[in-house]
């Protein structure tokens, strides 16, 4: 298996492409600096141990494993998947307080959907959910609350793009 690392310092460079910014967020500042400043490489098993990779899979099984994960994700409510991804990605670019506010806004939107009702019913009835694959909001009062939360970011007053719907 190949080794992973940030060997740029051995070439008189610093890691480009965001390496000095992403690596500390993934594995912590101390471990990241050790990898960046020494230029050392680590094995796939070590990368897994420190949280740099999610899994170590033999090359022959890589596509099958990726397809399995994709099927797991696509079986979930599309709006919840979309907003979970958006909250995690945007939250990394803000303060934790702003991230919490964004998450709460997206939670409010999801809580007002038909998919939330279906997911809860399916769970209680011990069956697989049949998500609608479209955004359908419940009662008018819930719709108003969800939309109000969706279009304003409470802690910074930044708008959330309409194409999120």
Each residue's pLDDT, cut to its tens digit, for the chain (165 residues) gives 678 999 999 999 999 888 999 899 899 999 999 999 999 999 999 999 999 999 999 999 999 999 999 999 999 999 999 999 999 999 888 899 999 999 999 999 999 999 999 999 999 999 999 998 665 555 554 444 444 444 444 444 444 443 444
- What's the pLDDT at 138? 56
pLDDT at 66: 94
Q: 81 and 159: one domain?
A: yes
Residues 25, 95 within the same domain: no
State the residue range of the domain holding 154: 73-164
87 in Cβ contact with 54 (< 8 Å): no
Of 52, 49, 51, 55, the residue nearest 5 (C-alpha): 52
83 and 156 co-located in one domain: yes
12 and 42 share a domain?
Answer: yes
Within-domain flag for 64: no
Check residue 145 and give its pLDDT: 44
Total domains present in the chain: 2
Q: What is the CATH number of the domain that holds 85?
A: 1.10.12.10
Residue 10 forms part of a structural domain: yes
**Is there a single domain that holds both residue 44 and residue 111?**
no
Task: Look at the pTM and tell me if it is higher than 0.75.
Answer: no
Q: How many residues in total does the chain contain? A: 165
Residues 78 and 52 in one domain: no
Residues 50 and 83 reside in one and the same domain: no
Integer Cα distance of 141 and 134 in angstroms: 19
Nearest to 103 by CA among 116, 76, 84: 84
Q: With respect to residue 96, please indicate whether it lies within any of the assigned structural domains.
A: yes
pLDDT at 87 (0 to 100): 94
Both 77 and 142 in one domain: the answer is yes
For residue 32, being part of any structural domain is answered with: yes
* 83 Cβ contact list (under 8 Å, min separation 6): 106, 109, 110, 164
12 and 81 in a common domain: no
Residue 67 is assigned to a structural domain of this protein: no
**Residue 44 and residue 96 in one domain:** no
| Within a domain: 149 | yes
């Amino acid at each position: 298996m190949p080794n992973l690392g940030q060997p740029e310092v051995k070439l008189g460079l610093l890691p480009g492409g965001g390496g000095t910014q992403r690596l500390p967020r993934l594995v912590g500042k101390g471990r990241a600096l050790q990898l960046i400043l020494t230029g050392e490489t680590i094995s796939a098993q070590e990368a897994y141990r420190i949280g740099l990779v999610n899994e170590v899979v033999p090359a022959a099984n890589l596509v099958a494993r990726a397809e399995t994960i994709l099927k797991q994700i696509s079986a979930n409510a599309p709006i919840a998947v979309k907003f979970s991804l958006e909250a995690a990605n945007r939250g990394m670019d803000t303060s934790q307080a702003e991230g919490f506010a964004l998450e709460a806004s997206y939670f409010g939107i999801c809580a007002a959907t038909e998919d939330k009702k279906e997911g809860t019913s399916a769970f209680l009835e011990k069956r697989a959910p049949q998500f609608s694959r479209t955004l359908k909001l419940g009662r008018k009062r819930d719709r108003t609350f969800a939309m109000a939360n969706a279009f304003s970011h409470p802690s910074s007053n930044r708008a959330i793009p309409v194409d999120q719907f």
